[in-house]
Amino acid sequence: MTDPPDYPTDRLYSEGFAAMNDALSEVLRAVRLTGGVFLSANFSAPWCISVSLSSEDCLPFLRRPLQMIGYHVVIDGRLLVGLEGEKMLEVGAGEIFLFPQNDDHILASEAGLEPVKARELIKPTPEGGLFRIDHGAGGPRTSIVCGFLASEEGFNPLIASLPKILKIDVRDATSREWIEASVRFAAAELTQGRLASSSVMTRLSESLLAEAVRQYSSTLKDLHAGWLNGLKDPQVGHALALIHQKIDEPWSAEALAREVGLSRSGFVDRFSSLVGMPPIRYLTFWRLQTAKMTLRDTKRSVAQLAHAVGYESEEAFSRAFKREFGMSPARWRDAAANV
């Protein structure tokens, strides 16, 4: 059996995220992704396939994903990738591309070819384990590994802010060594018809999303481009970090403004224009999202949870939760347990 990456993984993983010790790292941790690599594919030009990732592809890893991000790692060769009817993007060995909204997409050796549905080409490995694709007409070869990032949460402002396709150049990644070793490990396991370690894949998933967001956010110029630019702004980014780090703190707009060195009105206007909602509305939103995740994952009482996310009473928390999600915390927990 293939061994996991042979280096101090915990140290490298921690160092990769230490480089992101800011608001972005706090928000990424809150997404709570599960990851998996489920297919290896080898192509020979000319070739063209259409790809659609569904929740069934995640069943070996996750019971009920509500959010999915498909991704492909180019091991060897080159290819074009794009959405139906849109300009194709060229990707080469050592690069990774993700689909934050899990859009159907086209992979091809060149533009203008008629796509074949990828599902029609998938076959089990000779060992009877996981799946692979071998397809093409014998020309220059391209090899990729396909995977997904998934979450049981239905909405996250980070993922909603991302474009439809993100490309990562692993050579520029702060956690390059971790990503490369984990991908090699997953690919080796796939060739043997096995799933790679879930802990390795979850960490790989987090690293991939972190690098994608970091590289994408570095290209943003317009301060009004969306929520991600709130993280880039020194004052608003610091406020977001404070909210995520100390969710149970009795924050007010005045207190956050003092922490970041702005007047109350200046802070509220700046935060609202960049994030898309006022700071206290964002605080309430994130407290309730955090509470919803915790309701499913733990057996803590509603009263304990209310205190943990910053509410002084169970009654106030329950009213806010019902306004946001249409049912009480206890009823939501029961419904989630029966799904």
Q: Which domain holds residue 289?
A: 227-337
Residue closest to 274 by CA, chosen among 235, 216, 246? 235
Beta strands in 8-77 (DSSP E): 34-44, 48-51, 67-76
pLDDT tens digits for range 243-262: 888 889 999 999 999 999 99
Indicate whether 107 and 19 sit together in one domain: yes
pLDDT tens digits for range 281-306: 999 988 998 888 788 777 889 999 99
Indicate whether 200 and 83 sit together in one domain: yes
If you average pLDDT over each of 23-27, 120-124, 159-163, 319-323, which comes out highest? 319-323
In a domain, 4, yes or no: no
Where among 217, 241, 257 does a domain terminate? 217
Cβ atoms within 10 Å, residue 263: 12
Indicate whether 112 and 171 sit together in one domain: yes
pLDDT (mean) for 309-328: 93
Where among 189, 217, 245 does a domain terminate? 217
Indicate whether 80 and 183 sit together in one domain: yes
Alpha helix segments (H runs only) across 21-117:
23-31
Indicate whether 65 and 194 sit together in one domain: yes
Indicate whether 128 and 47 sit together in one domain: yes
Indicate whether 107 and 201 sit together in one domain: yes
What is the structure's pLDDT at 278? Answer: 94
What is the structure's pLDDT at 9? Answer: 40
In a domain, 122, yes or no: yes
pLDDT at 65 over 60: no
From residue 113, how far is each of 44, 90, 108, 110, 230 by CA, in Å? 14, 15, 7, 7, 41
- Comparing 45 with 186, the larger pLDDT belongs to 45
Report how far residue 91's alpha carbon sits from residue 135's, in angstroms, rounded to the nearest whole number.
18
pLDDT tens digits for range 153-199: 655 667 777 889 988 877 766 666 767 777 777 767 666 666 665 66
Domain count along the chain: 2
3-state secondary structure of 51: strand
Indicate whether 47 and 89 sit together in one domain: yes
pLDDT at 145 over 50: yes
Report how far residue 185's alpha carbon sits from residue 56's, in angstroms, rounded to the nearest whole number.
23
**Domain at 185, CATH number:** 2.60.120.10
In a domain, 130, yes or no: yes
**Domain at 300, CATH number:** 1.10.10.60
From residue 74, how far is each of 135, 291, 294 by CA, in Å? 16, 38, 36
Residue closest to 7 by CA, chosen among 208, 146, 185, 168? 185
Residue closest to 207 by CA, chosen among 96, 302, 119, 109? 96
Q: Look at 119-128, 239-248, 276-285, 299-308 and tell me which has the smallest mean pLDDT.
A: 119-128
pLDDT level of residue 26 (50, 70, 90 thresholds): low
What is the structure's pLDDT at 32? Answer: 63
